[in-house]
Amino acid sequence: MQNDIQEVLYSEQQIQDKIKEMGEQISRDFEGRNPLVICVLKGAFIFMADLVKQITIPLELDFMAVSSYGASTKSSGVVKIIKDLDISVEGRHILIVEDIIDSGLTLSYLIDVLERRNALSITVAALFDKPARRSAELDADYKGFVIPDAFVVGYGLDYAEKYRNLPYVGVLKPEVYSQ
Ligand SMILES: O=P(O)(O)OC[C@H]1O[C@H](OP(=O)(O)OP(=O)(O)O)[C@H](O)[C@@H]1O
Ligand SMILES: Nc1nc2[nH]cnc2c(=O)[nH]1
């Protein structure tokens, strides 16, 4: 697996240091609000686990899985809910945890759904932001790293369901895509 990586963009230590900062800021901002922290599966599962350990205030957490209907419709912003939340968002302060914002379509769909379900407030924490390819107008409230327009893997992020378990984030060698 390590042999497939061309370049490490962010080491395990750099990621952990950044998450600590994000957690401290979130702890201050959400004091007394008992946020419902929502992990967007699958990519955000490792970030979610590490982030909540750095948040020192009471919170609840839940998980949601979404997928685009297919490559041809991804640009339309049509997203399908594969696994819905167990906990109601009505009247709750919501913190959405995403691994990466790319086109922004997944997140804009999710925000729309949660607004229609009468969430009290919706805030977004994203570890990676790739603004070059944004087609929906949105930004994360808490952002880890702004990254160049490259396809990254590791730390939850996959290529064909592989590499999620790498502890760092990097780019693949070009030959991996042609295998
Ligand atoms: O801003 P966007 O262009 O919508 O892309 C971002 C989304 O894409 C990835 O999920 P993916 O659909 O690959 O599913 P996964 O999390 O299960 O890997 C990532 O985890 C985000 O949820
Ligand atoms: N693994 C992975 N998934 C993505 N989804 C949107 N952008 C990316 C990316 O750079 N890497």
Domains and CATH numbers, the chain: 12-69+76-150 (3.40.50.2020)
- What is d(CA 48, CA 39) in angstroms, rounded to the nearest whole number? 6
* Mutation probe of ligand 2 site: the residue of 46, 98, 157 with most atoms within 8 A of C-beta: 157
13 to 34, 54, 85, 128: CA distances (angstroms): 29, 14, 32, 15
pLDDT of residue 42: 95
Query: ipTM greater than 0.85, yes or no?
Result: yes
Pair of tokens at residue 63: 């998980």
pTM reported for the whole predicted model = 0.95
- DSSP label of 75: T
pLDDT in tens, 92-112: 999 999 999 999 999 999 999
Nearest ligand to the CA atom of 64: 1
